[in-house]
Amino acid sequence: MIGQGVLRECLLDPGVQKVLSIVRSPTNQHHPKLRELPHAGFFDYTAIEPDLTGYDACFFTLGVTSSGMAESSITTSPTTSPSKPPKPSPASTPL
């Protein structure tokens, strides 16, 4: 998982002084640099906003692994891929 890898590297890096990990439920990992903050609402951080100060970086690794998934279920079609935006509709085309 990407999040586990990011967490591991941050904890191992001597240049990182502290790590705040916002989690759905505690992982029971223990490390002097690590503070876990359980939080259920990943679309609203206002309740924990005071806890988010004093950090220089943020890694947002929330997601689902693609391991074991069929390629067709994780790739986009050529008309919607980020490298090729969809064609504008005639109504939105400037004159």
pLDDT in tens, 44-84: 999 999 999 999 998 888 776 677 777 777 666 555 544 44
Q: What is the model's pTM?
A: 0.64
Which of left, alpha, beta for 84 (phi over 0: left; psi -120 to 50: alpha)? beta
Contact between residue 46 and residue 38 where contact means Cβ atoms under 8 Å apart: no
Query: What is the per-residue pLDDT for 92?
Result: 43
Above 90 in pLDDT, residue 33?
yes
Contact between residue 62 and residue 42 where contact means Cβ atoms under 8 Å apart: yes
